[in-house]
C-alpha cells in the first residue's frame, strides 16, 4: 500500500477574483496534512521576494490536482491586526500580505 504524501504549493494572489498562480512548490514532502500546515509559516518567510499583493501557502496531496483559489478567497487581517511575522491562518490557508 502506498502512503499519502503532501506537498506545499506557494501561490501568488492579486486583490480581485482573478485566480491565484502557483509560482513555486516547496521541495520537501510531508507525511500528513497537519505536518505540512505546521511548516507553512516558515515556508512563507522564505518566499518574501515574490511580487504579489498576497502570497499563500497551500498544502495538498501530492497526487491531487491544484484547485482554483482566488484572491478574494484569501482572508486578510484588518488594519493594525497583522501578526508580528506577517502570517494569517484562514480556513486551511496561510497567507502573507504586503498591505
Residue 35's pLDDT is what? 95
- In three state form, how does the secondary structure of the chain look? CCCCCEEEEEEEECCCCCECEEEEEEEEEECCHHHHHHCHHHHHHCCCCCCCCEEEEEEEECCCCCCCCEHHHCCCCCCCCCCCCCCEEECCEEEEECC
Taking residues 40-65, what's their average pLDDT? 89
In the prediction, which pLDDT does 88 show?
A: 44
When mean pLDDT is compared across 28-32, 37-41, 58-62, 93-97, the lowest value belongs to 93-97
pLDDT per residue over 19-39, tens digit each? Answer: 888 899 999 999 999 999 999
Amino acid at each position: 500500500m502506498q502512503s499519502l504524501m503532501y506537498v506545499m504549493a506557494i501561490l501568488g494572489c492579486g486583490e480581485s477574483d482573478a485566480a491565484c498562480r502557483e509560482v513555486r512548490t516547496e521541495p520537501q514532502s510531508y507525511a500528513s496534512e497537519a505536518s505540512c500546515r505546521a511548516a507553512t509559516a516558515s515556508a512563507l518567510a522564505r518566499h518574501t521576494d515574490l511580487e504579489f499583493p498576497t502570497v499563500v501557502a497551500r498544502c495538498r496531496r501530492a497526487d491531487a490536482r491544484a484547485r482554483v483559489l482566488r484572491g478574494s478567497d484569501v482572508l486578510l487581517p484588518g488594519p493594525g491586526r497583522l501578526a508580528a511575522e506577517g502570517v494569517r491562518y484562514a480556513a486551511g490557508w496561510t497567507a502573507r500580505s504586503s498591505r
